[in-house]
């Protein structure tokens, strides 16, 4: 990964590097845990708050739109605080967002849940903006891609277990009530009492989570994590930046931001919509909770293969092309196949397994886009990084587009047509778009 404006900190011992990598690995684990639990929050709130499909996907919108709204303020904050103290603040935001779930559940008010999710998303924006460049800077630049892949493993492993833990802690005691509500067996006051009981289940877990997040923030602040301040980064000027006065004069960056927007949007669609899609096939929420873990498991396999094969067997550039093509083929399979299967004990449609398999190609697309988009930017690297973080708002917007299409067509499967143009554009960027260095061309 070539980020020429980021230099490895001088006089940092191997022990400090190891400590830094271990602590940032914990940060990525927590980011994955609180992010990917959204996949089960969406159908849970749809039932407990009596929402439409479109309304339920405001869970992801409220969570990820913070990347767009807060990225620039976060960049200025980190400029003043440094990465270490900034990550501490990120955990404080996460804790406040988790704590807001308590009054939201007590009052059964959906918009308060969304406020909590937005606050948690703000915390994630801080952690993303601090942790990604930190893990790049902390060691030799030539091994940065390997460190980023290891962080991806931590993130996705957390994503595999978080829906399962939520289901066990929140839904486990309310399984019978949940099934009665889903089947429409309750009416009037009995239904209201059941919905209240469902939402009461999130109070204690999220109160404990808030305290845990505060504890992790304090731990990072007091830890021996080597501090790195963005002001200390080397703002070099490369040949490519001479005569340039705006980051928007680099087409491959601007086009890369759009590519990242489509990539993260398609990735979160494959994960956060799969439980609802399983429900359309007659699989209840308790059984469907494992499907996001299948998708993230496929992602984990892709990360591990990437660590082993790139660049010794396949170049990062070619891996990006292969993954985008596989993504397009799987997406076409999701919307076009209508075959009944019984796999891993789940009678379902083949399309849901193709959707889960999208986790595999999605694993390496992010790592392929980032170095293409940010290469040779010299003094513009910092603002370019902020733009790329802002592109993560694709997680917020693309699921809403999916939900709108699904509601309009009355078919969750038809909603997945939104994946097709995403992967077509990603293929174009992987093959041609990243080469464009001048708008005049």
More confident residue, 294 or 36: 294
The angle that helices 38-48 and 58-99 make with each other, rounded to 10 degrees, is: 100
Interval 254-272: pLDDT, tens = 999 999 999 999 999 999 8
**pLDDT for 9 beyond 80:** no
pLDDT tier, 178 (very low <50, low <70, confident <90, very high otherwise): confident
pLDDT-above-90 percentage for the chain: 43
**pLDDT for 7 beyond 60:** no
> What does the pLDDT average to over 237-253?
77
Q: What is the pLDDT of residue 2?
A: 37
**pLDDT for 228 beyond 70:** no
> What does the pLDDT average to over 389-402?
91
Mean pLDDT estimate for the chain: 86
Q: Which range among 20-29, 152-161, 385-394, 409-418 has the greatest average pLDDT?
A: 409-418
Question: What residue ranges define each of the domains in the chain, with the CATH number in brackets?
Answer: 12-224 (1.20.1250.20), 241-434 (1.20.1250.20)
On whether the CB atoms of residues 133 and 75 are closer than 8 A, the answer is: no
Q: What is the pLDDT of residue 3?
A: 38
Interval 40-78: pLDDT, tens = 898 889 888 989 888 998 998 999 999 889 888 887 888
On whether the CB atoms of residues 358 and 345 are closer than 8 A, the answer is: no
Report how far residue 250's alpha carbon sits from residue 308's, in angstroms, rounded to the nearest whole number.
32
Interval 337-354: pLDDT, tens = 999 999 988 899 999 999
């Amino acid at each position: 990964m070539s980020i020429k404006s980021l230099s490895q900190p001088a006089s940092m011992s191997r022990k400090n590097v190891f400590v830094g990598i271990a602590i940032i690995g914990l940060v990525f684990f927590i980011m994955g845990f609180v992010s990917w639990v959204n996949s089960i929050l969406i159908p849970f709130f749809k039932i407990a708050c009596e929402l439409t499909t479109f309304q339920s996907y405001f869970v992801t919108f409220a969570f990820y739109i913070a990347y767009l709204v807060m990225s620039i303020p976060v960049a200025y904050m980190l400029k003043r605080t440094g990465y270490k103290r900034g990550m501490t603040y990120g955990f404080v935001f996460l804790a406040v967002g988790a704590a807001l779930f308590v009054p939201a559940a007590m009052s059964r008010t959906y918009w308060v849940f969304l406020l909590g999710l937005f606050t948690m998303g703000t915390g994630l924006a801080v952690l993303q903006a601090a942790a990604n460049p930190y893990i790049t800077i902390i060691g030799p630049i030539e091994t940065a891609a390997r460190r980023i892949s290891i962080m991806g493993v931590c993130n996705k492993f957390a994503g595999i277990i978080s829906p399962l833990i939520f289901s066990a802690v929140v839904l486990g005691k309310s399984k019978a009530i949940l099934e009665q509500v889903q089947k429409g067996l309750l009416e009037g006051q009995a239904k209201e009492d059941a919905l209240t009981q469902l939402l009461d289940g999130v109070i204690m877990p999220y109160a404990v989570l808030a305290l845990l997040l505060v504890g992790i923030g304090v731990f990072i602040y007091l830890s021996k994590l080597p501090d790195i301040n963005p002001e200390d980064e080397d703002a070099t000027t490369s040949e490519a930046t001479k005569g340039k006065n705006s980051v928007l004069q680099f087409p491959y960056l601007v086009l890369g931001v759009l590519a990242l927007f489509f990539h993260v949007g398609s990735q979160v669609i494959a994960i956060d919509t799969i439980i609802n899609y399983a429900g359309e096939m007659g699989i209840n929420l308790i059984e469907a909770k494992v499907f996001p873990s299948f998708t993230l498991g496929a992602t984990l396999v892709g990360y591990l293969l990437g660590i082993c094969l790139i660049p010794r067997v396949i170049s990062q550039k070619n891996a990006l092309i292969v993954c985008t093509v596989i993504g397009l083929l799987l997406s076409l399979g999701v919307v076009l196949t209508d075959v009944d299967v019984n796999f891993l004990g789940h009678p379902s449609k083949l399309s849901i397994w193709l959707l889960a398999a999208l986790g595999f190609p999605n694993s390496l697309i992010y790592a392929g886009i980032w170095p293409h988009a940010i290469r040779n930017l010299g003094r513009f690297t910092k603002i370019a990084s902020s733009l790329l973080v802002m592109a993560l708002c694709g997680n917020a917007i693309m699921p809403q587009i999916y939900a709108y299409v699904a509601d309009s067509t009355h078919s969750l499967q038809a909603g997945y047509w939104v994946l097709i143009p995403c992967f077509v554009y990603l293929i174009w960027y992987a093959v041609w778009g990243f080469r464009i260095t001048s708008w005049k061309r």
